[in-house]
């Protein structure tokens, strides 16, 4: 038997005191834990999407995506810029450094993207947003051979 186990066997008051402290600590911690049915997570990302109907991916990349990338890559707080050009739409995802003020970065991105005046005439206005992920905590399925 190890030394600490022997010590607790010979000192039952210390074992009971430790158990009591663990229970109190658990109850105090339980009160401070946030409980949400559908927790929302705000990632350190900002998404910019621009629709350019009728254009192929190459044209979307040249006329939309590259211009947005050039406008935002040097902003303070930007960690990485990723983009995707598809037929008729371009997406640019701007990832921020950890613990950076996302509202400030969102405002900076909006001002930079809104100042681009070389978008094609047929393109729509840029949609700039910070995504929110809502994931359910659990799913329950009930099954039985009974009528409804």
Q: Is 12 helix (H, G, I), strand (E, B) or coil?
A: helix
**Cα angle, residue 106 at apex, residues 87 and 44 outer, rounded to 5°:** 85
Residue of 135, 136, 117 whose CA lies nearest to 125: 117
DSSP 8-state symbol, 123: S
Each of the 148 residues of the chain gets a pLDDT tens digit; together they read 678 888 888 888 998 999 999 999 999 988 888 777 666 666 789 999 999 988 899 999 999 999 999 999 899 989 999 999 999 999 999 999 988 888 999 999 999 999 998 888 888 999 999 887 766 667 788 888 888 7
pTM for this one? Answer: 0.64
Which residue has tokens 């401070």?
32
CA atoms within 13 A on the CB side of 14: 8
* Predicted pLDDT at 140: 81
Dump pLDDT digits (tens) for 60-103: 999 999 999 999 989 998 999 999 999 999 999 999 998 888 89
What CA–CA distance (Å, rounded) separates 110 from 128? Answer: 7
* Predicted pLDDT at 43: 79
What CA–CA distance (Å, rounded) separates 10 from 8? Answer: 5
Intra-chain end-to-end CA distance of the chain, in Å: 58
């Amino acid at each position: 038997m190890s030394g600490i186990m022997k010590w607790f066997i010979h000192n039952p008051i210390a074992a009971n005191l430790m158990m009591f402290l663990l229970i109190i600590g658990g109850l105090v911690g339980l009160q401070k834990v946030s409980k949400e049915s559908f927790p929302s997570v705000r990632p350190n990302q900002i998404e910019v999407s621009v629709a350019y109907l009728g254009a192929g991916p190459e044209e979307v990349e040249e006329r939309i995506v590259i211009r947005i990338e050039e406008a935002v890559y040097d902003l303070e707080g930007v960690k990485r810029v990723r983009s995707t050009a598809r037929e008729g739409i371009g997406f640019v995802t701007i990832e921020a450094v950890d613990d950076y003020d996302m509202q400030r970065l969102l405002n900076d991105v909006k001002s930079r993207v809104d100042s681009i005046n070389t978008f094609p005439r047929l393109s729509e206005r840029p949609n700039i947003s910070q995504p929110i992920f809502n994931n359910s905590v659990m799913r329950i399925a009930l099954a039985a051979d009974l009528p409804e």
